[in-house]
Amino acid sequence: MINLPYLFAKKYFWSRKKKNFIHVISIVSMIAISIATASLIIVLSVFNGLEGLLTSLLNDFDPQIKISAKVGKTFHIDSVESKLNTIPSLEVITPVIENNALIKYNKAQTLVTIKGVDDNFKEQGRIIGSIVRGDFNLKNKEVNYAVMGYGLFDDLQISLENDFKALQVFYPKEVKPGLINPDRAVKRKSILPSGAFAIEKHYDEKFMIVPLRFASDLFEYEEGLVTSIEIKTSKESDLNDVKEEIQLAIGPGFTVLTDREQHADILRAVKLEKLFVFIILSFILTVASINIFFSLNMLAVDKRRDISILFAMGSPDKLIRKIFLYEGFIISLGGAVAGILIGFTLCYLQQEFGFISMGMQTAVVDSYPVKMYWGDFVATGITICAITFIISFLPARSAVKAADLKELQ
């Protein structure tokens, strides 16, 4: 004899367990999506912060706009200075001579890039804030001084207290036939160190700043010959507009670069890293969304009879697919909103309080730099919507095919 109460109870409790299991999978999916979304927002914001930090460090040394010759290494400043003076948005125009040389201090020696700058270089507002030893002083009456990167300063073991110990700077002369004494093949000049700056390793271990006249005499450049011109613009100026104005004024024989164009390779590398990280985390987000696929498939099996009833009532296939797509969007939207809120909150706290430190005493900043862009939030939202649609579409289509109208007969 069939035990109808037993069969009813068994079917009822099994149905309850199955529904509870589906709910658990949906909640797990929502949590996984929220964690993946928060991670994506946080990582992208950290990359933005690192890019901003890198740009600010590079701009502490390099100018807003730099002019150099397209052909050759040097050019006469007289050919462009009068034209530049007609542009009102240019606040400071600094002639620069840049070349490599050998420096020696006591028994230590190394190759450096000598950067000779005009007296108005301080008005550019760069490097001075990055001085870590001594002062930014290039000239005192007739005495020339040099300011170098801290890496050079430390390697050469320079002492600022000893005014009688100068840096020896060597540069090869143009060798002529019949030269017997090798000392005459090298130009040698002395200069006192006045300070050291710390900006970034590339600059700290390479550059030494000296007066323009000192560099001109060392490299035996004729009067008015420079390798570049560095420009500071007014605060309200747009650099791209100023660049076009300068290029139009001085002609096609010169290369004019803005600050971002001078660092194009580095900034491009950072953006590529950010793009690859976004792609990798999107794959992780896809894996986290796989639970939605299983949840909707189980729901389709559980609701097969209900779907058949909707078909019998005249509901089109499109309506059934929409129901499952909306179910997937509800799960993913809940996780995405929670993840975005979590990511925004953590990034905001890091910006304000910096509770996650770099973990290095020699780091440029104490805590990880974070900068949030609304574009990252939009890109994350679009990615989640696209992933959810793809994952939810298959269960929605299978739910329509699985419905059997004969069950009502």
pLDDT tens digit sequence for 335-348: 888 889 999 999 99
Residue 326 has pLDDT above 60, yes or no: yes
CA distance 347 to 42: 6
Percent of the chain with pLDDT over 90: 28
Convert 358-402 into a string of H (helix), E (strand) and C (coil).
Answer: CCCCCCCCCECCCCCCHHHHHHHHHHHHHHHHHHHHHHHHHHHHH
Report the candidate in 66, 208, 70 with the shortest Cα–Cα distance to residue 127: 208
Residue 299 has pLDDT above 70, yes or no: no
Q: What angle do CA 215, 218, 222 make, to 5 degrees?
A: 80
Residue pair 96/77 in contact (Cβ under 8 Å)? The answer is no
What distance separates the 2 farthest-apart alpha carbons in the chain? 124
Q: What is the pLDDT of residue 145?
A: 93
Residue pair 56/43 in contact (Cβ under 8 Å)? The answer is no
CA distance 307 to 319: 10
pLDDT tens digit sequence for 101-143: 999 998 889 999 999 999 999 999 888 888 999 999 998 888 8
CA distance 355 to 333: 29
Q: What are the boundaries of each domain within the chain? A: 11-58+266-408, 65-259
As a whole number, the mean pLDDT across the chain is 81
When computed from its CA atoms, the radius of gyration of the chain, rounded to whole angstroms, is 34
CA distance 11 to 15: 6
Q: What angle do CA 190, 99, 101 make, to 5 degrees?
A: 45
pLDDT band, residue 22 (cuts 50/70/90): low
Provide the whole-model pTM.
Answer: 0.74
pLDDT tens digit sequence for 144-194: 999 999 999 999 999 888 777 889 999 987 655 555 555 566 889 999 999
CA distance 152 to 208: 8
Classify each residue of 376-395 as buried b or exposed e, where b means 16 or more C-beta atoms within 10 Å of its C-beta: bbeebeebbeebbeebbbeb
CA distance 189 to 169: 5
Q: What is the pLDDT of residue 381?
A: 84
Q: What is the pLDDT of residue 6?
A: 36
**Euclidean distance between the first and the last CA atom of the chain, given in angstroms as a whole number:** 26
